[in-house]
Amino acid sequence: MTRHLLEIDDLHPDELRAVLDLAQAPHPPQVLDGIGAALVFEKPSARTRNSMEMAVVQLGGHPVTIRPDEIGLDTRESVEDITRTLQCFHGVIAARVFQHAFLQRMVAVSEVPIVNLLCDEGHPMQALADALTITQLLGDVAGRTVAYVGDANNVCRSLALAVGMLGGRVTIASPVGYGMKPGDLERLARAGVRPQLSVRPQDAVAGADVVYTDTWTSMGQEAETAARRTAFAGFTVDDALLDQAAPDAVFLHCLPAHRGEEVTAEVLDGPRSAVWRQAENRMHAARGLLAWILDQP
């Protein structure tokens, strides 16, 4: 049966650990030797494109990055026909799209693995890199507290799933109206994950081992920028807030960052920040996921 990854909970906890182990393997299996990988980008991204292309190369494959104007999802050609076409040439299709429904439609007709590079509902590839970074820096995710401060968005949901499934504790602080949606909480609960929710960053960060934030305004939300800046006042991760975490706490951010908004330059560029290791781990995590998913019987 073809396996796909649209969200972290498409993996069992033991499978998630296996992916992280493969991400750190010194000699990755050449599961893409002589095989292409289609990387479909409806939404652009520097880290996602570079990490995925290099992960494919390290597994012996040939990455083909495809821009939206080259295929036109549901404009020039249907999502289903694009998927059927790409699987003629490639052993895996990975897509960064606006709508989760596009990925579901790909899965419905694809005979090769479909991998979610980001959609409006989740960002599992980022969460894999986050879990890998926490493991490298703190030894294990299990028993650790990860505090997320900001918009409880797609990044937050995938992060909460990964941390909770690996035995960590999740705390989330968001302004009123920007917290976890009921449907997301129900999905987390089905995976055995029950985050602690708050509207005060100080409550979420207190004693945390990891403090994580994301931009207040994501791609496609530009019209909401002014309103979001007002709503998120007081949610900036600065040294004073980070000081309330554990003494050896690590700061993470999926990037791109806006210094002076969701995080200060002093924190982002400071000694407690691991954002560049986290960015590099996008490649290692992608390599681990592709190595695992392409080796399934």
Sign of CA dihedral 260, 261, 266, 269: negative
Is residue 126 among the annotated active site residues? yes
Q: At what angle do helices 46-58 and 275-293 cross, to 10 degrees?
A: 50
3-class SS of residue 186: helix
Instruction: Please tell me which residue in 9, 87, 126, 278 is annotated as part of the active site.
Output: 126
Instruction: Please tell me which residue in 90, 151, 253, 254 is annotated as part of the active site.
Output: 254
Name the residue among 268, 265, 238 with its Cα closest to residue 253. 268
Is residue 238 among the annotated active site residues? no
Instruction: Please tell me which residue in 151, 214, 278, 284 is annotated as part of the active site.
Output: 214
Residue spans of alpha helices (H) in 62-193: 68-71, 79-86, 100-109, 124-138, 154-165, 182-190
Is residue 214 among the annotated active site residues? yes
Is residue 119 among the annotated active site residues? no
Neighbour-count burial for 165-202, b at 16+ CB within 10 Å, e otherwise: bbebbbbbbbbeebbbeeebbebbeebebebebbbebe
Instruction: Please tell me which residue in 96, 105, 144, 157 is annotated as part of the active site.
Output: 96
Is residue 96 among the annotated active site residues? yes
Instruction: Please tell me which residue in 47, 90, 105, 123 is annotated as part of the active site.
Output: 123
Contacts of 214 (CB under 8 A, 6+ apart): 150, 151, 153, 155, 156, 253, 254, 262
Which residues are known catalytic residues?
Answer: 96, 123, 126, 214, 254, 282
